[in-house]
């Protein structure tokens, strides 16, 4: 059943996207070039509507778990409607956040929440009521993280596809059929959109798509790691390493520069890589590669021992810090790790020169 629905969702997105494109052009839902934007021509929005519709058709046919499915369908409809209104009329940040919050509350009421963490040495950390605000913050954070990386053709759709592939693999390894089904159907709907969205994009997913994808990835990751262990707590964070790090360093950057947290800028990960001289396509592919590396770390971490988990986590943190410094994600002068490596190399060369 799942392979059939994968193909169905894949084909529905491909067939529906040109229809959505015509509809967007007709109602004037168009993204115009601007100083802060990379694209140089007017491009229709609302492409995420095709992703949403194809995924929902697959989920309604399959109905993998009715207790979770109905709240997820309702929450996804609310957040997609929020993005749709924003693409057509442009909403303020507070109204976008309001729509996301309502969607998050709906799924939490439906039973989607983080309950406890199984710590090493047979210890358990129960969240109790604190699990509700933690779940709420996770959904809002990931929804906006995916929204923030939607700055280049095919970037959000491609990174989301890598994330969903990783969740599908881990769900299959754990024998979690519900999560596997949800992730695979969303993967089919998202990856097929790349036929129209990869550079040069014929249509953008808009906030309709990026908010929906972020919301669904957040919810699926919570369900997939509902009773999480100490290191599998880090798994979804590593899987979403690219969008999360971009969002976190955007906040740090704005605090350092004393700017409002909601203020837009040209210093996101994709902007920084473009500024290094890479082409549009090369930048997207490089971020795909970074996301794939984090995905591999996450899969290994999901099945690792305590020692292996520590090693993988340290590798992830060091790699992330190195990338941040190399591309100047915080500031061009922020280079503590690179400066340390440079001093070590200089010290080693000076020792050789003595002999």
Tell me the pLDDT tens digit for each residue of 230-271: 444 567 778 888 888 888 888 887 777 777 766 666 777 888
The two three-digit tokens of residue 251, written as one number? 């906040």
Annotated binding-site residue? 65: no
Give SS3 for 113: coil
Q: Is 265 annotated as a binding residue?
A: no
Q: What is the mean pLDDT of the chain?
A: 85
In this predicted model, what pLDDT tens digit does every residue of 60-112 receive, in sequence order? Answer: 998 766 678 889 999 999 999 999 999 999 899 999 999 999 999 999 999 88
Domain residue limits at 339: 2-354
CB 238 within 8 A of CB 309: no
What pLDDT does residue 275 have? 85
First to last CA, the chain: 70
Report which of residues 79 and 337 the model is more confident about: 79
Q: What is the pLDDT of residue 175?
A: 83
pLDDT(177) > 70: yes
* Model confidence at 346: pLDDT above 90: no
DSSP state of 38: -
Which two structure tokens, joined as six digits, stand for 270? Answer: 């994709």
Question: What pLDDT, on a 0 to 100 scale, did the predictor assign at position 255?
Answer: 78
Q: Where are the beta strands (DSSP E) in the chain?
A: 30-31, 43-44, 116-119, 123-126, 227-229
- Residue 200 preceded by cis peptide, ω within 30: yes
Residue of 110 and 118 predicted with greater confidence: 110
Work out how many domains the chain is built from and give that number.
1
Per 3-state DSSP, the chain is made up of helix, strand and coil in percentages (nearest 5) of 70, 5, 25
Q: If you average pLDDT over residues 205-227, what whole number do you get?
A: 87
Whole-number pLDDT of residue 225: 63
- The pair of three-digit structure tokens given for residue 298, joined into one six-digit string: 């996450």
Rounded Cα–Cα distance for residues 14 and 332 (Å): 41
Of the ranges 123-137, 176-190, 277-291, which one carries the lowest mean pLDDT score? 123-137
pTM of the model: 0.88
Looking at per-residue confidence, does 143 or 174 come out higher? Answer: 143
What's the average model confidence in pLDDT over 127-147?
88
> How far is Cα 245 from Cα 349, in angstroms, rounded to an integer?
34
Q: Which pLDDT tens digit goes with each residue over 185-202?
A: 999 999 999 999 998 889
User: Which residue, among 201, 179, 205, has the nearest Cα to 51 in the 3D structure?
Assistant: 205
CB-CB contact of 45 with 204 (8 Å): yes
What's residue 303's pLDDT?
78
**Average pLDDT, stretch 102-131?**
78
pLDDT of residue 37: 64
Structure tokens belonging to residue 151: 């700055």
Tens of pLDDT, residues 27-70: 989 988 766 666 678 899 999 999 999 999 999 998 766 678 88
* Alpha-carbon distances, residue 62 vs 22, 55, 109, 177, 330 (angstroms): 30, 11, 22, 12, 44
* 88 closest CA partner among 193, 206, 174, 200: 206
Q: Would you state the structure tokens that stand for residue 351, as one six-digit string?
A: 């020792």
Report whether pLDDT(354) > 70: no
Q: Is 169 exposed, middle or buried (0-12, 13-18, 19+ CB in 10 A)?
A: middle
């Amino acid at each position: 059943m799942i392979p059939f629905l994968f193909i169905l969702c894949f084909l529905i997105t491909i067939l529906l996207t040109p229809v959505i494109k015509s509809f967007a052009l007709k109602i004037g839902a168009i993204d115009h070039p601007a100083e802060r934007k990379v694209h140089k021509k007017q491009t229709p929005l609302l492409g995420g509507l095709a992703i949403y519709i194809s995924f929902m058709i697959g989920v309604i046919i399959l109905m993998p778990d009715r207790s979770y499915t109905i709240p997820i369908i309702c929450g996804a409809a609310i957040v997609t409607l929020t993005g749709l209104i924003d693409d057509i009329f442009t909403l303020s940040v507070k109204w976008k956040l309001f729509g996301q919050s309502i969607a998050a509350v709906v799924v939490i009421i439906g039973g989607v929440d983080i309950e406890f963490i199984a710590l090493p040495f047979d210890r358990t950390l129960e969240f109790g009521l604190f699990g509700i605000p933690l779940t709420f913050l996770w959904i809002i954070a990931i929804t906006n993280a995916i929204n923030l990386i939607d700055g280049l053709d095919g970037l959000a759709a491609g990174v989301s596809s890598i994330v969903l592939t990783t969740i599908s693999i881990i769900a299959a390894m754990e024998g979690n059929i519900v999560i596997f089904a949800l992730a695979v159907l969303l993967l089919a709907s998202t990856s097929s959109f790349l036929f129209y969205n990869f550079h040069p994009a014929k249509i953008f997913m808009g906030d309709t798509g990026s908010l929906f994808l972020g919301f669904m990835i957040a919810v699926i990751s919570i369900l997939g790691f509902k009773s999480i262990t100490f290191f599998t707590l880090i798994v979804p964070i590593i899987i979403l390493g690219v969008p999360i790090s971009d969002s976190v360093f955007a906040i740090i950057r704005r605090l350092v520069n004393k700017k409002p947290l909601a203020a837009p800028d040209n210093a996101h990960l994709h902007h920084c890589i473009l500024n290094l001289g890479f082409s549009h396509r090369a930048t997207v592919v490089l971020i795909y590669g970074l996301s794939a590396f984090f995905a591999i770390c996450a899969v290994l971490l999901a099945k690792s021992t305590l020692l292996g988990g520590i090693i993988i986590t340290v590798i992830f943190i060091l790699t992330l810090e190195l990338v941040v410094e190399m591309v100047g994600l915080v500031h061009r002068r922020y280079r503590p790790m690179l400066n340390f490596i440079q001093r070590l190399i200089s010290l080693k060369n000076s020792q050789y020169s003595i002999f």
